[in-house]
């Protein structure tokens, strides 16, 4: 862990004079033990980059409510680069339509916090960012789970029509399911057949019928990731990793956290 | 207040005023009734009117104006429905203005982009990325001519949200009027021209406080002579509230600023009763319905007492606090934006209950972007529904006499007066601003409010409670990014086609006036007429007055 307090530069690029948000963020980050420097209004990108370097800050926070963010935020990132300080991450907020966020992230802004973001979430993000604890994107789709009434009935389509190779069939007692693994590229299909009425797959079949049941994402930091998701308020089905098939550790996120999609996180053991 | 024996009873005086007013502005209907045919009286009063009631609450159109500044209020005419609009180019905004007028809006309100508000031309490096974003870009008279194309200036009143360069935009408005054949004395409208709240809350200042105050008193002096029907300032609590103040702070700091302008004008040698009738106010309306309605009533009473008792103004017009209201932008949520229509309705109703003279209702999408035409129309319709369907405008000051509302009115006045005392100790609003007093008070209130929201002590529907899982933001208004280049090109064409010698001469004369004590406004009017730009004029004054660089 860091010993020094995190230093943050809060800056208002451009001509916008609304600094209620900037001042509140500055105060909230101070309350989280950070040292915050506020630039005041009407700063050019170059002035902000210079201030960031002179003040030796760890992160720059930009605020704009005038609609000029698409032009101004990337300029700050660029000015930092030109002055050899591309290691200082930039985050931003204000009145920023969601559609602009991908553009800004592509231009090197680490994260955009839109209107209504709790200040605690912003402080947490900065802490994680600087402690290199930010969550990396999951590495790949580990498998796609498909609920079926009967593996034996379903298999011919996958094996013969799609010509996929059947790797294994396993029984997972804890979930009361039988699972068939079919490799496709670097990922897999899992056909899931319920073994009893207590199986979650059975209740899925009863409610929705056969079909895609879940998507599993491969991660290598399952325990830490669950802790962070929990802190960020992501709804979880499993707050602790549990034993899955193939000697893996798994946990499910709540579908309400992800637009109705059931995601599984899985981490495989060393030998795989 | 001692009434001498030959004074009429205030009720009789009010009745006489009603007679006179209704001759000029007849009431909307012969008689007003509820849906059950119960007659609605013009005014309801207590059966026993004691001295206390007469002195503190009284009658509409009479000192201290707690119940409103006109004797018949909305029975004669509704408030002016004035939607703030402006984006992109002058042509686009002109189109939106004509659309709004066609939809039944009764006054115009111009939003300028930030470069215009801070005195930079569109091709100034400081304007980069900001041209046409939060309002219309105006560089030269050419833009202003297009902005008011086919809008007769003798038939609309125009409010301009412009502060540090107010004199320049006012000069352009005068020049457009002349081109349309409308004499300056016929022009009606308002310039915001309130620099103190820029230092406190809004941030579009240019010059330091002293020369800024001089520009303001120069405008007072010029308008008194040439634009007698124009409101020379709109003393604004709106932005103070948006920056996070409480309702009490909004009233207190706005009135403190108002007193600073009156002091400055008196010091500049103007007569209080000459300029005070042209002072206007601009307040916010937030969600706490009763407190907001009471706030307007308290502000009116405070200002009347201050003008009469403190400044010794004798003209009743000097005592009347006339105000515009805008619903609270910071109360809108980006989440579930349609909910904002309901917030705006509540806020607009509070403003009407408080007796506003004009009203802007925000659009549902303003926490996300500038309003689309659809959203702007719903916002205007909200006012029209309150006016035409709710019946709230059929009797004057219907909340008066509510124990709760009267008590809130008294309490707001008392607490705001305590702030005025503190500000007096600093030596007035200008000093208090320079020492950052009001800024600190507002920030404290804003931070406390944020904490209450995060701890869910305060519930904001759709934001920290009653949330939806997923949200799609439909159509938002986008300002075309190509506009900036087109505007730059247009301004450069104006520069190359005008009579440069005249421009140089006018700017030189302006510089001389700025160095001395002569009123600068006639020189600014002369300069805009020969197509000197906003940036060129503001820069001459920058060189003479210096620039304010914040705390």
Least confident of A259-263, B455-459, B473-477: B473-477
φ/ψ region of B162 (left if φ > 0, alpha if ψ in -120 to 50, else beta) reads beta
Q: How confident is the model at residue A271 (pLDDT cuts 50, 70, 90)?
A: very low
A133 has pLDDT over 70: no
3-state secondary structure B398-456: CCCCCHHHHHHHHHHHHHHHHHHHHHHHHCCHHHHHHCCHHHHHHHHHHHHHHHHHHCC
B-chain residues near A23 (CB < 8 A) = 443, 446-447
Tell me the average pLDDT of chain B. 94
DSSP string of B292-361? HHHHHHHHHHHHHHIIIIIS---SHHHH---EEEEE-GGG--SSSTTHHHHHHHHHHHHHHHTT-SEEEP
- Shortest distance, CA B208 to any CA of chain A (angstroms): 15
Q: What is the CATH number of domain B73-454?
A: 3.20.20.240
pLDDT tens profile B156-165? 999 999 999 9
Written as six digits, the tokens of B189 are 């409208």
pLDDT of residue B373: 86
Written as six digits, the tokens of A95 are 């009145």
Please answer yes or no on whether A20 and B134 come within 8 Å at the CB atom. Answer: no
Q: Which helix (H) or strand (E) holds A35?
A: strand A35-38
Please answer yes or no on whether A19 and B481 come within 8 Å at the CB atom. Answer: no
A-chain residues near B446 (CB < 8 A) = 20, 23-24
Q: How big is the CA angle at B55 (ends B403 and B411), to the nearest 5 degrees?
A: 45
At residue B424, what are phi and psi to the nearest 5 degrees? Answer: -60, -40
Please answer yes or no on whether B202 and A17 come within 8 Å at the CB atom. Answer: yes
The Cα B139–Cα B498 span in angstroms is 14
Mean pLDDT for B227-253 is 97
pLDDT tens profile B187-232? 999 999 999 999 999 999 999 999 999 999 999 999 999 999 999 9
The Cα B217–Cα B223 span in angstroms is 10
Nearest chain A alpha carbon to B245: A20
pLDDT tens profile A156-171? 999 999 999 898 888 8
Please answer yes or no on whether A95 and B473 come within 8 Å at the CB atom. Answer: no
The Cα B243–Cα A208 span in angstroms is 51
B142 has pLDDT over 60: yes
Torsion of CA B246, B251, B256, B260, to 10 degrees: 120
Q: What is the Rg, in whole angstroms, of the alpha carbon atoms belonging to chain B?
A: 23
pLDDT of residue B471: 61
B-chain residues near A259 (CB < 8 A) = 469-470
Task: Sketch the domain layout of chain A as residue ranges.
Answer: 7-130, 140-268
Q: Which fold has domain A140-268?
A: 2,3-Dihydroxybiphenyl 1,2-Dioxygenase; domain 1 (3.10.180)
pLDDT tens profile A211-246? 999 999 998 888 888 887 887 778 899 888 888 766
B477 has pLDDT over 80: no
Task: Sketch the domain layout of chain B as residue ranges.
Answer: 73-454, 497-545
B141 has pLDDT over 80: yes
| Ranges B83-87, B238-242, B370-374, most confident | B238-242
The Cα B479–Cα A127 span in angstroms is 36
The Cα A137–Cα A120 span in angstroms is 22
CB A162 within 8 A of CB A144: no
pLDDT tens profile A62-98? 999 888 899 999 999 999 999 999 999 999 999 888 8
Pairing mode of beta strands A177-184, A187-194: antiparallel
Please answer yes or no on whether A15 and B114 come within 8 Å at the CB atom. Answer: yes
pLDDT of residue A168: 87
Written as six digits, the tokens of B57 are 């609450």
Percent of chain B with pLDDT over 90: 88
Residue among A79, A138, A146, A72 nearest A103 (CA)? A72
Torsion of CA B6, B10, B16, B20, to 10 degrees: 120
Residue whose tokens read 């300069």: B527
- For residue B15, list its beta bridge partners: none
Q: Does B5 or B75 have the greater pLDDT score?
A: B75
pLDDT of residue B470: 59
Please answer yes or no on whether B476 and A97 come within 8 Å at the CB atom. Answer: yes
Instruction: Report which DSSP code applies to B462.
Output: T
Tell me the average pLDDT of chain A. 89
A107 interfacial to chain B (CB closer than 8 Å):
no
pLDDT tens profile B380-420? 999 999 999 999 999 999 999 999 999 999 999 999 999 99
pLDDT tens profile B42-98? 999 999 999 999 999 999 999 999 999 999 999 999 999 988 887 788 999 999 899
Q: Which fold has domain A7-130?
A: Rossmann fold (3.40.50)
Mean pLDDT for B229-257 is 97
Q: Does A135 or B94 have the greater pLDDT score?
A: B94
B1 has pLDDT over 60: no
φ/ψ region of B518 (left if φ > 0, alpha if ψ in -120 to 50, else beta) reads beta
pLDDT of residue B5: 45
pLDDT of residue B304: 98
pLDDT of residue B214: 96
Least confident of A129-138, B267-276, B401-410: A129-138
Least confident of A234-248, B9-23, B256-270: A234-248
B441 has pLDDT over 90: yes
Selected for mutation to probe chain B from A22, A67, A99, A255 (highest B CB count within 10 Å) is: A67
């Amino acid at each position: 862990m860091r010993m020094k307090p995190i230093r943050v530069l809060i800056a208002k690029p451009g001509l916008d004079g609304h600094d209620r948000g900037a001042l509140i963020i500055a105060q909230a980050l101070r309350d989280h033990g950070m040292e915050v420097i506020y630039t005041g209004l009407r700063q050019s990108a170059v002035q902000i980059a210079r201030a960031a370097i002179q003040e030796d800050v760890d992160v720059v926070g930009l605020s704009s409510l005038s609609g000029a963010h698409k032009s101004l935020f990337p300029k700050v990132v660029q000015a930092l680069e030109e002055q050899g300080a591309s290691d200082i991450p930039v985050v931003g907020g204000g009145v920023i339509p969601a559609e602009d966020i991908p553009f800004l992230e592509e231009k090197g802004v680490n994260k955009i916090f839109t209107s209504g973001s709790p200040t605690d979430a912003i402080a947490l993000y900065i802490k994680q960012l600087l402690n290199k604890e930010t969550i990396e994107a999951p590495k790949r789709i580990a498998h796609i789970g498909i609920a079926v009434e009967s593996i034996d009935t379903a298999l011919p389509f996958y094996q013969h029509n799609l010509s996929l190779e059947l790797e294994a069939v396993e029984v997972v007692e804890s979930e009361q399911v039988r699972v068939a693994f079919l490799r496709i590229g670097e990922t897999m299909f899992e056909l899931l057949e319920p073994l009893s009425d207590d199986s979650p797959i059975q209740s899925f079949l009863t409610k929705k019928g056969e079909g895609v049941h879940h998507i599993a994402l491969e991660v290598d930091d399952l325990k830490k990731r669950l802790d962070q998701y929990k802190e960020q308020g992501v709804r979880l089905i499993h707050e602790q990793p549990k034993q899955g098939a193939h000697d893996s550790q798994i946990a499910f996120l709540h579908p309400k956290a992800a637009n109705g999609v059931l995601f599984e996180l899985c981490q495989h053991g060393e030998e795989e | 207040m001692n009434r001498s024996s030959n004074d009429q009873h205030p009720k009789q005086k009010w009745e006489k005023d009603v007679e006179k007013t209704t001759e000029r502005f007849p009431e909307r209907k012969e008689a007003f009734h509820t849906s059950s045919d119960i007659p609605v009286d013009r005014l309801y009063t207590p059966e026993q009117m004691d001295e206390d009631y007469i002195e503190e609450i009284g009658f509409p159109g009479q000192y201290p104006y707690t119940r409103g500044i006109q004797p018949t209020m909305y029975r004669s005419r509704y408030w002016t429905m004035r939607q703030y609009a402006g984006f992109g180019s002058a042509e686009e905004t002109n189109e939106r203005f004509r659309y709004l007028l066609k939809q039944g809006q009764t006054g115009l309100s111009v939003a300028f982009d930030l470069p215009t508000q801070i005195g930079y031309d569109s091709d100034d490096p400081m304007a980069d990325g900001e041209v046409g974003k939060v309002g219309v870009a105006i560089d030269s008279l050419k833009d202003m001519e297009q902005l008011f194309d086919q809008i007769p200036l003798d038939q609309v009143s125009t409010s301009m949200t412009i502060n540090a360069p107010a004199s320049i935009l006012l000069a352009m408005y005068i020049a457009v009027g002349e081109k349309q054949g409308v004499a300056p004395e016929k022009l009606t409208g308002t310039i915001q021209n309130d620099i103190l709240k820029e230092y406190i809350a809004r941030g579009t200042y240019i010059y330091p406080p002293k020369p800024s105050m001089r520009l303001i008193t120069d405008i007072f002096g010029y308008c008194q002579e040439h634009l007698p029907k124009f409101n020379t300032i709109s003393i604004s609590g709106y932005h103070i509230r948006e920056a996070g103040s409480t309702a009490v702070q909004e009233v207190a700091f706005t009135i403190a600023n108002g007193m600073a302008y009156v002091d400055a004008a008196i010091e500049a040698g103007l007569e209080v009763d000459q300029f005070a009738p042209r002072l206007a106010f601009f307040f916010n309306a937030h969600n706490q319905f009763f407190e907001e309605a009471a706030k307007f009533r308290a502000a009116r009473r405070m200002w009347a007492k201050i003008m009469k008792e403190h400044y010794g103004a004798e003209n009743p017009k000097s005592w009347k606090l006339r105000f515009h209201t805008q619903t609270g932008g910071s109360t809108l949520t980006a989440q579930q934006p349609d909910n904002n229509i309901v917030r705006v309705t509540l806020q607009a109703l509070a403003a009407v209950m408080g007796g506003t003279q004009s009203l802007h209702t925000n659009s549902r999408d303003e926490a996300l972007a500038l309003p689309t035409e659809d959203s702007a129309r719903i916002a205007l319709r909200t006012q029209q529904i309150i006016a035409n369907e709710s019946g709230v405008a059929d009797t004057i000051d219907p909340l008066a006499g509510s124990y709760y509302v009267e008590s809130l009115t008294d309490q707001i006045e008392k607490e705001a007066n305590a702030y005025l005392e503190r500000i007096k100790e600093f030596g007035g609003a200008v000093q208090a601003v320079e020492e950052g007093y009001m800024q600190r008070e507002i920030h404290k209130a804003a931070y406390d409010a944020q904490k209450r929201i995060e701890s869910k002590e305060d519930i904001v529907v759709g934001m920290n409670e009653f949330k939806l899982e997923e949200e799609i933001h439909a159509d938002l208004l986008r300002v075309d990014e190509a506009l900036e280049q087109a505007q730059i090109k247009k301004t450069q064409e104006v520069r190359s086609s005008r009579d440069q010698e005249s421009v140089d001469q006018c700017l030189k004369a302006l510089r001389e006036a700025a160095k001395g004590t002569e009123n600068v406004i006639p020189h600014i009017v002369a300069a805009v007429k020969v197509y000197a730009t906003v940036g060129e004029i503001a820069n001459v004054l920058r060189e003479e007055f210096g620039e304010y660089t914040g705390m």
